Chain A
Amino acid sequence: MAAAEIGISAEPIDAQRCKFVVSVPVFAGGVRRFTGSDDAKGSPLAEAIFAIPGLAVNELIVSGNIVTVVKQSPTPWQAVGKPVGAAIRAALASDVPPVAAAPKPAGAVNDDSLYEQVARVFEEQVNPMVARHGGHVELIDVQDAVVMLRMGGGCQGCGMADVTLRQGIEGMLAQLVPAVRGIVDITDHTSGANPYFQASKK
């Protein structure tokens, strides 16, 4: 695909984290999380993003059509978003797969165990509750004790999704699965067609 045909929308989460929603799939093999340039070797997209001068990326998560970048640099996303977009476009325009399949890491056993625990919390506690608003939360993966999830149904695009995530799910996991180090929401909220609460005020 020509780079110019690829649409990318940046959705900053905070000063450190930003989601880039791409109009075409970037990685269909689940979720890949990169924590450094060594980790990125073999995945041209990750290599390119870690190499962006001055960005100081310390984490990159790729899943489906969403690329989540976590940086240390204090430079606002507005100023550094375009090089990330350019790197995504260049990687997708290449003949080489932009992201290689994940190798089996040594610590996979712990993440597997965490995955099971988190999945149980989602299935038995979180989802029965959010279902009352037509929502559901899907556990995508656990990598290095970081939970990656996707919100769907009434949660996708909901004006209160961040409240559900930070005031609800995060606290539940902190209590029930304390080994979890963080949560990354990889939902494309802009595509939510039926949000339970829809922002409507100016």
Chain B
Amino acid sequence: MLRPYIILSTVPRLLLLLPTTTYRTTAFVEAARQIGVELTVASEQASTLEAVNPAGLLTLDFEQPERAADAVRVFARQYPIDGVVGVDDRTALVAAAIATKLALRGNPVHAAIAASDKHVQREQLAKAAVPIPRFMLHNLEDDPAAIAKSLTYPCVLKPVRLSASRGVIRADNPQSFLAAHGRLRAILADPETAAACGDRARHYLIEEFIPGYEVALEGLVVDRRLHVLAVFDKPDPLDGPFFEETIYVTPSRVPGGLQAAIRDCADRAVRAIGITEGPVHAELRYNENGPWLIELAARPIGGRCSAVLKFGEAGSGKGVTLEEIILRHALGMPIPSLRRERLAAGVMMIPIPGAGMLQEVRGVAEANRVPLVEDVQITAHPGERLIPFPEGSRYPGFIFARGETPAAVETALREAHSRLTFVIA
């Protein structure tokens, strides 16, 4: 007869909030094993094995952060929690509620809300004079024809709570604004999407389009201080009409002085929003007027992209992953290094090749053989329906490369991608 585990351990226990749809499960679970902590995984749907490991598996309502925090407070009476980590926007908010309730290291709830709600975020950034695009909030029911006449073009329509550029559409004139509005309305009408957006499902932002070169910044906030872990170039122009990301390469080739301005802009945004602890991922643009903060999230880089980041002495056995850094920070454990390895590294989120049912992917072995390419991961499975942006946002796979220079890495990623053929029916 299997009995529930009896926990008599003095090893710290980490509560990891993993949505069932995340790509991040393996990276975080393995990081927890690597640092040797007791792990409790909480998801929004029950594991089929939850009954046999009540200390290690938990179900929480991620849509109700305060209710989830109450549930964890009860749980922690039997299985004390020493740290909590969320892996995406939604669970970062739940983690903040739990951290506040259990007095754990984490962000205040208001900061997590601001990081996950684009409108709240922009209002706070504007108050703090952080450079951001001009913006306005509208209800989907507001007359789009009247709005279209009043706008300055180009502009960008954005859902308030979706991530990964889903539903983000550029409009260059009233006609394209109306078309974009129709598409966004349809996206937000999807019940699952509406549920993810909560009380913001009927709202959207209209923003000034900021021309310029885009970078991403990965950081860790420790006691209100931003430590920049990496700045990524995004060498493919993101000018719309949709904003599907492709290549991230680090270190950035942006001149040093401008990088300092980018870091300063991100730091000001972190302070304006009130983020005090944990990972941040920021997206910024720069042009002749300097850097502009486009998005700031209180979570790490998404998808499988974090695999491109190694810290410390990679190859020496002392290197650590981004996930390990995040978990160690949450638990107050020493972090071996926040310095990225010496080599340049990059990842390509493989562009969605078209709409339809994926039959097969050819050329993976050839892509893997491209010099500097370390791995080609196809995450879409045969029979899966591929949905292009802006309605979709699930990349069919990832390509990773590492080399001496960012330019060589970028070339390798493009070369590997050119070897792939997606057969779609």
List the interface of chain A (C-beta within 8 A of B): 6-15, 23, 74-79, 81-82, 85, 125-126, 129-133, 135, 157, 159-164, 166-169, 171-172, 175-176, 190-195, 197-202
Contacts and interface: CB of A to CB of B under 8 A. Distances in A.
A159 B369 CA distance: 27
Nearest to B310: A76
B379 interface: yes
Interface stretch (B130-138, B252-260, B315-323): B315-323
B59 to A, nearest CB: 12
B382 A191 contact: yes
Interface in B228-259: 245
B368 A9 contact: yes
B81 to A, nearest CB: 15
B402 interface: yes
Contacts of A13: 26, 30
A76 B369 CA distance: 17
A145 to B, nearest CB: 19
Contacts of A135: 48
Contacts of A132: 48
A134 B316 CA distance: 42
Contacts of A167: 29, 39, 41, 47, 49, 53, 56-57
A192 B57 CA distance: 24
A77 B307 CA distance: 11
A171 B56 contact: yes
A202 B302 contact: yes
Given A14-B33, A76-B310, A166-B29, A160 B18 contact: yes
B405 interface: no
A79 B18 contact: no
A87 to B, nearest CB: 14
A129 B49 contact: yes
Contacts of B117: none
Interface string B281-303: 00000000000000000000011
Contacts of A195: 381
Contacts of A8: 365, 368
The 8 lowest CB-CB distance pairs between A and B, nearest first, are: A202-B164, A78-B374, A74-B317, A168-B49, A7-B365, A197-B20, A202-B302, A199-B23
B161 to A, nearest CB: 13
Nearest to B400: A78
B41 A201 contact: no
B19 interface: yes
Contacts of B314: 76
29 contacts: A7-B364, A7-B365, A8-B365, A8-B368, A9-B377, A9-B378, A12-B307, A75-B315, A76-B315, A76-B319, A81-B375, A82-B369, A132-B48, A159-B21, A159-B22, A160-B25, A160-B47, A163-B25, A163-B41, A163-B57, A166-B33, A168-B47, A168-B52, A168-B56, A169-B49, A199-B25, A201-B88, A201-B302, A202-B302
B84 interface: no
A169 B315 CA distance: 32
A11 to B, nearest CB: 7
B163 interface: yes
Interface of B: 2-3, 5, 18-23, 25-26, 29-30, 33-34, 39, 41, 43, 45, 47-49, 51-53, 56-57, 88, 163-165, 245, 302-303, 307, 310, 314-319, 349, 364-365, 368-369, 374-379, 381-384, 393-395, 400, 402
A190 B380 CA distance: 8
A27 to B, nearest CB: 19
Contacts of A82: 369
Contacts of B319: 74, 76
B163 A162 contact: no
Given A176-B2, A192-B381, 18 more contacts: A8-B365, A12-B307, A14-B33, A78-B374, A78-B402, A79-B374, A81-B375, A131-B48, A133-B48, A163-B41, A166-B29, A167-B39, A167-B57, A168-B56, A198-B21, A199-B21, A201-B302, A202-B302
Contact of B43 (A129, A162, A163, A169): A163
Nearest to A169: B49
Given A76-B315, A163-B47, A201 B22 contact: yes
Contacts of A163: 18, 25, 29, 41, 43, 47, 57
A133 B369 CA distance: 37
Contact of B383 (A12, A190, A193): A193
A173 to B, nearest CB: 11
Given A172-B2, A175-B5, A201 B164 contact: yes
Given A160-B47, A192-B381, A199-B379, A85 B25 contact: no
A194 B383 CA distance: 9
A202 B402 contact: no
A130 to B, nearest CB: 5
Contact of B163 (A23, A131, A201): A201
